[in-house]
Structure 1
Amino acid sequence: MIIVYAPEGGTKEAFEVARGKLRASEIQIIERTADARWNDIKEAVSEGDLNAMRTVVWVLKKREQPSLRFAEFDPFEGDLYSRLDEREVRAYAEGFVEKYRADPDTLAEAFDELRESAYDREGAEAVIADVTAPKAPAPAEPQPEAAPAQEATETAPSPTAS
């Protein structure tokens, strides 16, 4: 997940909220400030919850502005929004292909929405192209070689033997 902070007349910033991008201490500050558990906050961010996004971005901005107080970071409603990172785009695209394989119109609509939700639209196009590209059939597994026919160990009596 990526939170975009785009204040009118200001510089657009993107904050990645993926696994491994936040320190435990930052997550604890976010949880205390938002009065919610981290998993609930991540879900709220993905749903576009303004308070969740504000809290996460405030903590991340404190990396460069340690004295920034929560009350000082008060963006307007439209200044914050969430977008999907490439990993999330791929997961959704693969899921859409599985779910809507038999319904090309619905699949196309789902991909349109996915493009709109992606942080990197060109990257989303590449992922969609990759996910929908015909796949080469998997190489056939080699068949076990047939065991050579075993010769009979007993010899039948020869009809010419006396």
Structure 2
Amino acid sequence: MIIVYEPEGCEPQSFDAGRGKLRASEIQIIERTADARWPDIKEGVKAGDIHALRVVVWAIRKRTEPALRFGDFDPFEGELRSRLDAREVKAYAEALFEEYHENPDDLAEAFNELRDVAFDREDVEKAIADVAAPKDPAPEPEPEMLPAEAASPSEG
């Protein structure tokens, strides 16, 4: 999960809160500050919950700004958004293809929605190409000759 912080008049900043990107100590600080468990906070980030987004970005920013207090990081509504990282985009693309592959219009709409929530559009295009590519059927195995057939000359 990528969280984008885009304060008005400033360059957007992105914060990777995906699997394996936060230290245990950071997660513990996030839990204490948010007064919630990490699994609930992660779900809040996915859902775009402002409190979850704020506390995670604040904890990540503390890496470079150790004196930053939670109360001093108070973004306006709409300045924080969650976006899907490449791994999540691939998983969603596979699930969408599985669900809608028989209805091209619904699949196209679902893929457009995926483009809207992805951090990197190139990840979406690659994932769509991967899942929509025709799958080669498994090659049929060569028939094995029995040892007796291989050793005896053919009679003609």
TM-score (norm 2): 0.91
* 2:108 corresponds to 1:90: no
Question: Which residue of 2 is the match for residue 79 of structure 1?
Answer: 79
Q: Residue in 1 aligned with 2:63? A: 63
Of 60-69 and 92-101, the range deviating more from structure 2: 92-101
Equivalent residue letter for 2:72: E
Aligned counterpart, 1:158: none
Quote the residue 2:41 is aligned against.
41
Q: Deviation per CA, 1:104-156, whole angstroms, max 9, x where unpaired?
A: 1111111010011100012211211121111222223344433526xxxxxxx
Q: Secondary structure at the match of 1:77?
A: coil
Q: Distance in 1 between matches of 2:86 and 2:135?
A: 21
SS at match of 2:78: helix
Letter in 2 for 1:10: C
How large is the RMSD of aligned CA atoms in angstroms?
Answer: 1.2
For 1:3, give the aligned amino acid: I
Q: Shift in Å at residue 76 of structure 1?
A: 0.3
Residues of 2 paired with 1:11 and 1:62: CA distance? 19
Superposed counterparts of 1:3-152, under 5 Å: 3-148=3-148
Unaligned 5+ segments in structure 1 are 150-162
Q: Tell me which residue corresponds to 2:153.
A: none
Tell which structure's C-alpha radius of gyration is larger: 1
Residues 32-60 of structure 1: CA distance to partner in whole angstroms, max 9, x if unpaired? 11111111100010000000000000000
For 2:118, the aligned partner's letter is A
Residue identity matched to 1:132: A
CA displacement 1:53-97 (0-9 Å, x = unmatched) = 000000000000000000000000110000000111110111111
| Counterpart-to-counterpart distance in 1, 2:91 and 2:36 | 26
Q: How many pairs does the alignment contain?
A: 149
| Percent of matched pairs sharing the same residue | 62
CA deviation after TM superposition for structure 1 residue 7, in Å: 0.4
